[in-house]
């Protein structure tokens, strides 16, 4: 017989709390918590040494000796024409011999400088080289040379004129274009190299 003062049993003892949501019967196992990111993330695979390198355009070859000699002849003829005009003008003006020499030399070298240095910098070739369809480029990247290189090449053309002509005839390497890093190429080859008309 139960004790008269024994309290009644709790009706919900051992049962689920009325406000506790039961676990879903189809809920899968929980994923374990992920740790911190790796301090050294994986690097992409290096480029294979056996992969073929990217093809680079080939720098145009030098123009043949006949074109080179033709350009030298035409440019020299222009300088001689300027000297002749200066000589006739000095003679008509009755200038002394020394002044006549200065006038002739100034006309010849002045026109040669404008033709070989300034015009080549602007247009890529002198008048004689335009006539034989050639251009002057840098032998490393086929770009148009700047004034310092063109000036050294112009001086080298006078200092080594004989060597230059012999080298052009025998296809040697000792000419002013080589020590200046320049190259005389055909206009057609340079146009094919750049893929666009050369201005």
Domain ranges of the chain: 65-194
The pTM assigned to this predicted structure is 0.62
pLDDT at site 167: 62
Cα maximum dimension of the chain = 160
Instruction: With beta carbons less than 8 A apart as the criterion, state whether 176 and 156 touch.
Output: yes
If one counts every other C-beta atom within 10 angstroms of the C-beta of residue 52, the result is: 6
Q: What are the backbone angles phi and psi of residue 191, rounded to the nearest 5°?
A: -65, -40
Judged on CB neighbours under 10 Å (0-12, 13-18, 19+), 51 is exposed
For residues 160 and 149, the answer to whether their CB atoms sit within 8 Å is no
Q: Which residues of the chain have pLDDT under 70?
A: 1-57, 160-179, 195-199
């Amino acid at each position: 017989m139960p004790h008269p003062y024994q309290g009644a049993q709790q009706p919900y003892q051992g049962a689920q709390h009325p406000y506790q949501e039961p676990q879903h019967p189809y809920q899968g196992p929980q994923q374990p918590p992920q740790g911190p990111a790796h301090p050294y993330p994986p690097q992409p695979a290096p480029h294979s040494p056996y992969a073929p390198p990217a093809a680079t355009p080939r720098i145009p070859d030098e123009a043949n000796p006949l074109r080179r000699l033709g350009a030298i002849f035409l440019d020299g003829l222009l300088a001689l024409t300027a000297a002749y005009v200066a000589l006739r003008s000095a003679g008509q003006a009755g200038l002394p011999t020394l002044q006549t020499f200065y006038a002739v030399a100034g006309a010849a070298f002045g026109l040669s400088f404008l033709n070989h240095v300034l015009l080549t910098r602007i247009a890529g070739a002198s008048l004689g080289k335009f006539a034989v369809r050639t251009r002057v480029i840098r032998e490393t990247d086929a770009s148009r040379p700047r004034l310092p290189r063109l000036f050294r090449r112009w001086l080298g053309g006078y200092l080594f004129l004989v060597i230059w002509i012999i080298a052009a005839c025998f296809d040697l390497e000792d000419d002013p274009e080589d020590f200046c890093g320049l190259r005389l190429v055909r206009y057609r080859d340079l146009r094919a190299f750049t893929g666009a008309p050369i201005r």
